[in-house]
A = this chain, B = another copy of it.
Amino acid sequence: MSNITAIAKRAKVSRTTVSRVLNNHPYVNTEKREAVLKVIEELNYVPNLNAINLSRGRTNVFGVIVPKIGHPFFSNLIEGIGKACNKHNYSLLVHQSNNDPKTELEFFNKLKYKMIDGLILGSSVSPTGVIDELSHFGKIVSCEYSDSSKVAKVFVNHESGIKMAVDHLKDQGHQEIGLCIGNPKSGVGITRKKSFFNLQKEYRLSWRDDWYFDKRYTIEDGAEVAKTIFGQPSRPTAMVVGNDHVATGMIYEAKKQGVKIPEELAIIGFDNQPISEVVELTSINQPIIEIGETAANLLHSIIQNQTVPFINTIELELIKRKST
């Protein structure tokens, strides 16, 4: 395990010079540079990043925290972040929290303890106070809405997503539109719910309380929702569904029962997952990879002290298929 000192001795130069060669500094005599390079070769020298990091006071590593890596949203987000990290020569430390605050705090320490230069919140369950305090230790970018004024943000405009969906259905003549979402207490859930009901009032759409469903996440959940709807005396003519899998389940149940889509029930999903293509589901696409890339680029810029927009929204797009 040769180090810079051994190189210096053998090449008969100072450690500084070796360091300069290593870091491609200018102002090094060609002869010395070559002598150093030769010794480096001979001794199979490899640098020690921990020493470099300690000395420089930074690591060129970003961290990202998500509830679950295997979730399509988050894996695509991380893919985007990773792409941007590669571009900027940063490494990426990934942590999954399972939405457990304790596990989150542990990871936050990586920022405090200087193991990462910046942090991206894929999704966090920690209170604003915790995030605010953490921001003293390094730059933070959030990929979801956050009350903290200390973190930069990149997220999709969920309000506009709902509007896009409702407008599309309204344009097709629907007046009786139901809503089905996932976790009603998450940031996204709250926003979607609020936006939906605001629009519903604004457009003076019909409404019945049994047109609303939440905590639905899976294909099976969707099938069950559809069953419930079809069993009701008065059903909506269209449904806005916060998740393509749930929407898919609904389509399948409809087919099973011979209910025609979209004639008897129009369905619009969210996220434009691969599955939506298969079942020809109209869906609101979030360019997730782009969000990740933007987040990492933003973090990088902030760390370089560049002036950049602190809050960034990414626009959604409607992918029209046969379910509407």
Contacts and interface: CB of A to CB of B under 8 A. Distances in A.
A95 B103 contact: no
Interface residues of A, number: 48
Q: Would you call the interface of chain A mostly helix, strand, loop, or mixed?
A: helix
Contacts of A50: 50, 53-54, 59, 114-115
Nearest to A76: B70
Contact of A48 (B78, B113, B278): B113
Contacts of A49: 110, 113-115
Interface stretch (A33-41, A85-93, A186-194): A85-93
Q: How many monomers of this protein are in the complex?
A: 2
A265 to B, nearest CB: 18
A316 B279 CA distance: 28
Contact of A69 (B82, B109, B110, B112): B82
Contacts of A72: 70, 72, 75
Given A48-B54, A110-B49, A248-B278, A79 B93 contact: no
Nearest to A252: B278
Contact of A68 (B48, B69, B79, B275): B79
Contact of A94 (B53, B94, B277, B279): B94
Contacts of A115: 49-50, 91
A96 interface: yes
A245 interface: yes
A216 interface: no
A103 B86 CA distance: 9
A114 B53 CA distance: 11
7 contacts: A61-B93, A69-B82, A70-B78, A70-B79, A92-B94, A93-B93, A252-B278
